Amino acid sequence: MRAGLAAAHVLLATSTMGYVILIIVLIPLAIAWAYALIDIVRRIDIGVGAKALWAVCVILLPFLGTLIYLLLRPASANMRAA
């Protein structure tokens, strides 16, 4: 009985640590994904067709599409004049 209880504690600690690591990784990815989508919509220096292609790429390939978009987008002219 005692060995089973110890195994349950190890399993709980492992799964809890797994959830913590998962949250630490997923929250920044979700923020980057949302930022990329908002940036695509707000850009004035790219056309509607390019926006649509980028949006589809980011939505269908969340990690890879977001990474490629954020690395390849030009830093200048990234926001609409307010």
Domain boundaries of the chain, sorted by first residue: 2-72
pLDDT band at 73 (very low <50, low <70, confident <90, very high): confident
Alpha-carbon gap, residue 42 to 11, rounded angstroms:
46
Query: pTM of the prediction?
Result: 0.68
The answer, yes or no, to whether residue 15 has pLDDT greater than 80, is: no
pLDDT band at 82 (very low <50, low <70, confident <90, very high): very low
Run of H or E residues at 28? helix 2-42
The answer, yes or no, to whether residue 20 has pLDDT greater than 50, is: yes
Alpha-carbon gap, residue 37 to 75, rounded angstroms:
15
The answer, yes or no, to whether residue 30 has pLDDT greater than 90, is: yes
pLDDT score recorded for residue 2: 58
The answer, yes or no, to whether residue 39 has pLDDT greater than 80, is: yes
